[in-house]
Structure formats: C-alpha cells, structure tokens
Structure 1
Amino acid sequence: MYQLEEETEADWWEVEALYDLCFAPGRTALSSYRLRDGVPTVAPLCLVLRDDEGILAAVIRYWPVEVGGQDALLLGPVAVHPTRQGEGLGGLLINESLAEARRLGWERVMLVGDAPYYSRFGFRKLEGVVMPPPTNPDRVLGLDLVRGAWEGVRGAVTKAQA
C-alpha cells in the first residue's frame, strides 16, 4: 500500500537523497538542470510516493520551460528507490502526474530519456526541438496532452519566463 502526495518543502532533503542514490554523480551538471536552475517547480505535479511506514519509495518532478515561445512541461527527474524498482511505481507516478497536467490545462510535455521506456506512455522523439548541449537529440521526447500540441513547435528549449 502506497500513499501518493504532492511534494512539500519538508520532503526536499529526502527527495534529493533519493535522486543522489538513483542517478550518477554530477547529475546536476546535465543540460536539463540548467533549465531548472532558479525556476520554481510546477508544484501540483511534483509527487512523492511513500509506503505504509512513511518510507519514500518514488518521486517525480516537473518544471516549466519554453520551446519556440510555447509553454511546455519538462518531466523529470523520476526516481524509484532501488529496492522498489520493478513494482510499476515509476509508471504510476508518470500516469498520475500526466493526468493531473491535463486536468490543469497543460498542452505539451517533454523530457530527456530512453524512448523504449517512455514510448509506452505515448512519448515520441521531438523533431526540431533543441535542448542545451550536451544532449543526444534522440533522447528528446515529447507527448501531446492536447491533440496536435507539438505540431509546428520548434526551436531551442529555454527557461520559463517568470
């Protein structure tokens, strides 16, 4: 049994510790972190999943970005504690947060990740969308939350304007 909740300020250190456990050292040097730097998260979409003892099992975060002057969500990172991997918790967080993003009126979401994993959620390679270097363009994926939302959207991914 798991409890799904919006991430709070009190969760911050624990969430960061899980990201440190799940990702390689230097994760904050990745190009996606430059887009997040100094920009608040989209709080209603940043979720924590705890077991019945209150132990953090999985997390997901989102940030606003702009692509060619259009608003988009940047999904990630999503992390599942190594002892909980294979239980479908990452998929649960992705599906729940995408449903909430639709409900909140977001039109498009993107991420940098593995197409074989994220394609099951409907993500596909984005053509003409350029992440800051160094980013493998084959890993820049997008999902329409509204039909056709990525059509004609091209250009550099930049920080969201306040």
Structure 2
Amino acid sequence: MTTLFHQIDTAKAGLAAEDLITIRAEAAYEIDERNALLARAMAPDWRTKTSEKLRHGRLPAAGLAFVAKNRAGHILGTVRLWDIYAGIDREGRAVPALLLGPLAVDPSAKAAGIGTGLMLRAIEKARRYGHGAILLVGDAPYYERFGFTGEKTATLMLPGPFERDRFLALELKPGHLDGAAGFVSASGSKA
C-alpha cells in the first residue's frame, strides 16, 4: 500500500487537512463499492461504449487495478488496465498492449488530484511489469499531460463506434506500436 502525498487537495476531497489518500491494488471485496462509485461518476451510457465492450467478461490485467481510498476506507477513485491486442505487426503477429479504463473519481472529490495519482500509479506499474503500450479512449487534453497522443493509433481501429480524436496511446517501450495496424481486440483472462 502506498500513500499518495502529492497533488491531493484534501479539502476538495471532503477530508480533513491531515487526512491522507492511499492508492493501492484493488481487492476482490471492494468490487461492489467500486461499481457504486462508477455509477455515481460515469455518464449513464458508459457501459455501452466500445471500450467497455472490450473489457466485458474479462479480468483486469494482473496487478493493474487500483483504488484511491480515504482514511475512513471509502473508495474515492478507481482505474483498471486490461490486456488487449493492438492490431497486428508487419509480420502478422498480435501486438500485446493494455487498455486503460475506466478512470473514475467520486464527484465529491473532483479536481483534488486523485485521478492524476491513479494515472501515475497505473502507468508506473504497467512500465515496471514490462508492458509495451497503453491505449485508451478519452479526453485528449486531460491525457496528453501523461504522454498520450493519437499518433500511434492512426492505423488502429476499435470494434465499434469511437471518436478518432479520443483514441490515444502511450508507448512504455519506444517503438512498441510501430507498424501495428488493424482492430484492437480483447486478450485478457475471462472472468
């Protein structure tokens, strides 16, 4: 369990100044509370989005599901990464990668830095575990500060409707997505 000290504005998160936010691996017993957070934080149609269809019926990538909790033990944020194939390379081999999402923060704690903390943790752990790239569909101005761009997704497609300018990638290993083309597909373990 790691305590996140930087960029968390405890007052905006509804906490006392001396309270802390911890970011740690999600536990199985937290799934119901996480799902309740998603219901509060996400748009009503989030389960029908193409990204969610890639995640449906799958388990998150090993060691890459995180929650942010306050000292009282309430989940204020969540993020998960999922195993996918980012198309195929020039030799016809599937390109392993990760799909990020959803990243969600309790509406009462928006702008407190919890989302930033979750993103930094997810990227750092994915890099440490040796993954080559992370893809996502999201708000480009938000995710660009973490290094995500649309440059490496130009030759990739999602298996359903999506907005091209929101389809972004971050290479954790330089050149990992070079030559990758075609459809993104789920590759993770089934739930």
When the two structures are superposed, what TM-score results if normalisation uses the length of structure 1?
A: 0.95
Where does residue 160 of structure 2 map in the other structure?
A: 133
Q: Deviations over 1:19-68 (max 9, x none)?
A: 11111223211111111122211141110110111111111011111122
Q: Deviations over 1:100-128 (max 9, x none)?
A: 10100100110000111100000001211
- What is the CA-CA distance between 1:9 and the residue it aligns to? 1.1
Give the 3-state SS of the residue equivalent to 1:142 in structure 2.
strand
The code of the aligned residue for 1:30 comes to K
1:120 aligns with 2:139: no
The code of the aligned residue for 1:148 comes to G
1:105 aligns with 2:124: no
Cα 1:51–1:152 change in 2 (3 A) is same
Q: Distance in 2 between matches of 1:97 and 1:67?
A: 18
Of 151, 155, 162, 2:182 maps to 155
- What is the CA-CA distance between 1:77 and the residue it aligns to? 0.2
Where does residue 32 of structure 1 map in the other structure?
A: 51
Q: Distance in 2 between matches of 1:161 and 1:115?
A: 26
Where does residue 67 of structure 1 map in the other structure?
A: 86
Q: Distance in 1 between matches of 2:127 and 2:105?
A: 23
Q: Distance in 2 between matches of 1:104 and 1:97?
A: 11
Where does residue 89 of structure 1 map in the other structure?
A: 114
Q: Unpaired runs of 5+ in structure 1?
A: none
- What is the CA-CA distance between 1:161 and the residue it aligns to? 6.0
Q: Percent identity?
A: 35
Give the 3-state SS of the residue equivalent to 2:85 in structure 1.
strand
Q: Unpaired runs of 5+ in structure 2?
A: 1-19, 88-93
What is the count of residue pairs matched by the alignment?
Answer: 162
Cα 1:161–1:27 change in 2 (3 A) is closer
The code of the aligned residue for 2:55 comes to R
CA contact (8 A) 2:61 2:188 kept: no
CA contact (8 A) 1:129 1:140 kept: no
Structure exhibiting the larger radius of gyration computed from Cα positions:
2
Q: Distance in 2 between matches of 1:52 and 1:8?
A: 16
Flag as ranges the 4+ runs of structure 1 deviating above 2 A: none
Where does residue 170 of structure 2 map in the other structure?
A: 143
CA contact (8 A) 1:109 1:144 kept: yes
When the two structures are superposed, what TM-score results if normalisation uses the length of structure 2?
A: 0.81
Structure having the higher helix fraction is: 1
CA RMSD of aligned residues (A): 1.2
